[in-house]
Amino acid sequence: MHTKSDYQYCSVETQGSVLIITINRPTLHNALHPPANRELAALFSDFQVDKSLRVAIITGGGDHAFCAGNDVKFSATASLEEMKLPEQGFGGLTSFFERSKPVIAAVNGFAYGGGFEIALAADLIIASENAKFALPEPKIGLAALGGGIHRLSRQIPYKKAVEMLITGKSVSAEEGLELGFVNQVCNPEDLMECSLAMASRIEACSPVSIDVTMSALAHGQDSASLVEASKNDTRLAKKLFTSKDFSEGVKAFAEKRKPVWPGE
């Protein structure tokens, strides 16, 4: 495990090919202001291009909050220029549409507002039993325009999403599991172990296959129909079938052994 300490608002470590990012503002319930968002954006941009890293896990420091969303106290006195978000959006994720590596949100407490939007922008959510999720923006005259409206209404039944979006309703980890936006619920003390186990299952698969799958998913999300969503598949299939990963995968299967992925 390698730990990096040269960050102001996060703590960062690597475990094999897994990058673990912990938002480190527990006294503010891990609320984020633009400097923290820019730090996270830089981290996720570096993760995307680092060939030694395959999966990222984002979680919150402390025992109570994943991320409380926007740092309202900072916003109260900041100028419009100071409030500007990075191109990758809130938490460095909500507008990072070019990302093709999996991100797991390990939600260790409440994820409200922008914090929930970060979790929704991740590809998988592992939640502790004490996790809670809400988009309470309408209660203070705002709306979940950091991707929360569109992602939630695509990831769960529409009318359930509308209820959460226009009432600010909070849901538990178990209800999130039932609705389908949470992948797994575990004991708080087991959260990182469960998240790393999920990352390990991803690592067991071909890096090229994961890249192709993530690219196809992203294109499909931008497409209005199945026909349109499938238009990119031929190009992706060619990339897959001409890769060294494909050759290694079928060879390992025939030889009844675990593949050693070249990653190209």
* Active-site amino acid positions: 117, 137
**CB of 13 within 8 A of CB of 1?**
yes
**CB of 118 within 8 A of CB of 58?**
yes
Strand partners of residue 57: 20, 104
3-state secondary structure of 98: coil
Map tokens 């196809």 to a residue: 216
Q: What is 176-223 written as a DSSP string?
A: HHHHTS--EEE-GGGHHHHHHHHHHHHHTS-HHHHHHHHHHHHHHHT-
- Going by their DSSP bridges, the two strands 10-15 and 18-23 should be labelled as antiparallel
235 token code pair: 């190009």
Q: Distance from first CA to last CA of the chain, Å, rounded?
A: 25
22 class by beta-carbon count within 10 Å (0-12 exposed, 13-18 middle, 19+ buried)? buried
Q: Supply the angle between the helices 207-221 and 244-254 in degrees, to the nearest 10.
A: 120
67 token code pair: 């991320």
